[in-house]
Structure 1
Amino acid sequence: MQKEVAAAMARPVWSGALTFGLVSLPVQMFTATDSHTVHFHQLQRGTSDRVRNKRVNERTGDEVPLDEIVKGYDAGDEYVLIEPGELEDIAPGRSQAVEISGFVDLEQVKPIFFDKTYYLAPKGKEYAKIYALLERALAQADKAGIATFVMRNRQYLVAVKAEGGLLTLHTLHWADEIRNPREEIGSLPENADVTSRELKMAEQLIETLSMEWKPEEFHDTFQEQVTKLIEAKRTGESVEKAEPPAQATNVVDLMEALRASVDQARGPEDRGKGKGKSAAGDAAVAQIKDAADKRRADGAAKPKPKPKAEKKASSLDSLTKAELYQRATDADVPGRSSMTREELIKALSGKRGRRKAQAS
């Protein structure tokens, strides 16, 4: 049994020592995240023949074995050749140490600097005390250790943090890797004219949409649709196409859009109380779009508030996704923010079925 558990455990992607001051803690580093990406093979159209990438000498056209490949830096008039072992020879600390140079307040490290996350574990039980000491000290101080280390012929700037009773290592971008948005993007607003009414309404919308962070309620719906598409293609069935993206809000419609969003986000039982949590999303966008479309159809010169009316539907299938979303909000359906239209119908059908059973 122990052998089966050991075989299922992840393998470290790096091993070395975490050093701070004169203290050296042997650690192993493990990947902290997975990817949902569905991987495809490349095939030639009309066949089942795989298309593979090969390392080919562009002069001779011959395939080159991996052990005959060296790195070359283009110096303009010639290539400077570097053997793989030569990079290892110059690596700081021989790629075996994460050297903490100092500790900083976590709030000082802006989110844009964070790249990838790894878990750190002591390399053996005999190092558990040193590991626990550093973890608890970092947690108490609410600080992160800033360090550098080399992995796979590349040096990284990292932050070592205490999270949930263990040490984590976050690779950081170097300062010169962070692009200046003002230099990169020419369409950023400089002195946009925002009225106090618009600002107050936007703040009210943010407050109305405030919610607790529950990551388990969100899931990768696109990858789920990719999986459904693959299964549908295999069985010869059809797949419902995604809804078109929402149209941009016209500046003329801004106040109405904000007001409609707040009203939609609260839900019937919360209107007037300011208690709405996570009910906007597609429903608000749909209501705003409907209002704008109606004005354009009527040829109105000025925006007029859309009269509120109860939507009557004979069944859930006849409702739009926005209407389904609002019903899911009223029924407090968990995870509704990331559901597809079909999933909303299924969830609401279950709610309706339970109500009938309770009534009987």
Structure 2
Amino acid sequence: MAKAVWKGTLTFGLVSLPVALYPATESHAVRFHQLQRGTTDRVRQRRVNERTGEEVPFEDVVKGYELAEGEYVVVEPAELEELSPGRSRTIEIGGFADLAEIDPVLFDKTYYLGPADPATAKVYQLLVEALAHSRRAGIAVFAMRGKEYLTAVDSTDGLLELRTMHWADELRDPQQEVPDLPARRRDFNRTELATAEQLIEMLSVAWNPDDYHDTREERVRALVEAKAEGREVALSTGAEPEATELTDLVDVLRRSLAEARAARGTGPKGGRSGTAGGSGTAGTAGRPRTVGAAGTVRAAGRPGTAGRSETVGAAGTAGTAGTAGTAGAKGGPKRERARRAPEPPEAVEDLGSLTKAELYRRAAALGVPHRSTMTRDQLQYALKAAARPRRKLGKAS
């Protein structure tokens, strides 16, 4: 059981609720010690006075802000703590906002917010239910470990969660940070856009985090075990995928769509449809693909736990796929040209008749943030909200 990293009081209006903050995530990364090459001697880092070379005890370390070279303003840790004494013990909700209006790039880290006093369980549960029904999050500022945080407190499956956020002035301007960022354009060939949309729809999945795992960590552990047993380990990085040429874009999209259809068992006649975990998907440019337990195709590097990897040939065929790669191209353009851009879900049908998985897929298509933590009712609400552009990256040409 994790220890609370902070304890204090959550307030909204005149209501006060003692709470404790618990980390919601943990790292399973393989940890190494630093050693001097050729020995088993540990290499350690110490706080050393650069003038005398002597180690400095932690309690003698203070903060120093440099005004000029060699000239500092010295600040004691206690002085920093006293700057916001109230906020270091209180999470004061100043207002409630729709999570769908918060740009996901602002979110940093998630914590569980639990009750610190069993006697206040009813107040805790009341806030959980009120947030769930309002589908809003409390916006608050509080201080922890000498730093002030902007946070969002919301309700998920009977639990309060607190998400720390970056301040607005901490966001970098993509126009300044991303070199050669192209201006947005609307003049795509109709076939290109329609085929890309069909491919996205065909590759849509119901989000399940258990389907994905850290394969690099597994390889690191395997490397350590092999070296401990004195076995040689063959290391291979694989070939870098080549960029798709503009002249090949439509053809690559069509072959990708044929591959996805085959994996779903909906391939056109003339090709052999693949099933979950089996081969029989048409490939693109020799890139490895993974077929998951549900028969959906995922890009290499994000394998499902029940998936099976296969490498496809440059001609667009794999395993016993037969002519699925070429058959997907025949007759395809007519259907693609006839396909219209998807309408908002509420304009197509009553959202109440859809399953949670179907609601999730639509939320994913609209880029609804935090959809993986939403209940079925919350997904319906989020889908009914108008999609709002997050930031302008350039004028459409």
TM-score range, shorter chain: 0.7 to 0.9
Structure 1 ranges of 4+ moved more than 4 A: 276-279, 328-337, 342-345
CA–CA distance in structure 1, aligned partners of residues 299 and 96 of structure 2: 39
Identity of aligned residues (%): 49
How far residue 239 of structure 1 moved from its aligned partner, in angstroms, is 3.3
Unaligned runs of 5+ in 2: 311-397
User: Is residue 200 from structure 1 mapped to residue 194 from structure 2 by the alignment?
Assistant: yes
How far residue 278 of structure 1 moved from its aligned partner, in angstroms, is 11
Residue of structure 1 in register with 2:267 after alignment: 271
User: Is residue 65 from structure 1 mapped to residue 30 from structure 2 by the alignment?
Assistant: no
Residue of structure 2 in register with 1:216 after alignment: 210
CA–CA distance in structure 1, aligned partners of residues 274 and 115 of structure 2: 42
User: Is residue 112 from structure 1 mapped to residue 105 from structure 2 by the alignment?
Assistant: yes
CA–CA distance in structure 1, aligned partners of residues 131 and 112 of structure 2: 15
Equivalent pair of 1:91/1:153 in contact (CA under 8 Å): no
User: Is residue 153 from structure 1 mapped to residue 118 from structure 2 by the alignment?
Assistant: no
Q: 1:39 aligns with which of 12, 31, 52?
A: 31
Equivalent pair of 1:18/1:27 in contact (CA under 8 Å): yes
* Residue 24 to residue 191, structure 1, CA distance change in 2 (3 Å): closer
Unaligned runs of 5+ in 1: 1-8, 291-319, 346-360
How far residue 75 of structure 1 moved from its aligned partner, in angstroms, is 1.6
* Residue 256 to residue 330, structure 1, CA distance change in 2 (3 Å): farther
* Residue 216 to residue 31, structure 1, CA distance change in 2 (3 Å): same
| TM norm structure 2 | 0.69
Residue of structure 2 in register with 1:358 after alignment: none
Residue type of the alignment partner of 1:197: T
Residue of structure 2 in register with 1:87 after alignment: 80
* Residue 147 to residue 79, structure 1, CA distance change in 2 (3 Å): same
Equivalent pair of 1:260/1:287 in contact (CA under 8 Å): yes
CA–CA distance in structure 2, aligned partners of residues 80 and 278 of structure 1: 68
Residue type of the alignment partner of 2:251: E
Report how many residues are paired: 300
Over alpha carbons, which structure has the higher Rg? 1
How far residue 89 of structure 1 moved from its aligned partner, in angstroms, is 1.1
Worse-superposed segment, 262-271 or 136-145: 262-271
User: Is residue 48 from structure 1 mapped to residue 65 from structure 2 by the alignment?
Assistant: no
Q: Secondary structure of 1:188's partner?
A: coil
User: Is residue 288 from structure 1 mapped to residue 284 from structure 2 by the alignment?
Assistant: yes
* Residue 191 to residue 333, structure 1, CA distance change in 2 (3 Å): closer
Q: Secondary structure of 2:255's partner?
A: helix
User: Is residue 233 from structure 1 mapped to residue 227 from structure 2 by the alignment?
Assistant: yes
CA–CA distance in structure 1, aligned partners of residues 5 and 79 of structure 2: 21
* Residue 278 to residue 67, structure 1, CA distance change in 2 (3 Å): farther
Equivalent pair of 2:205/2:296 in contact (CA under 8 Å): no
Residue of structure 1 in register with 2:164 after alignment: 171
Q: Secondary structure of 1:219's partner?
A: coil
CA–CA distance in structure 2, aligned partners of residues 229 and 338 of structure 1: 20
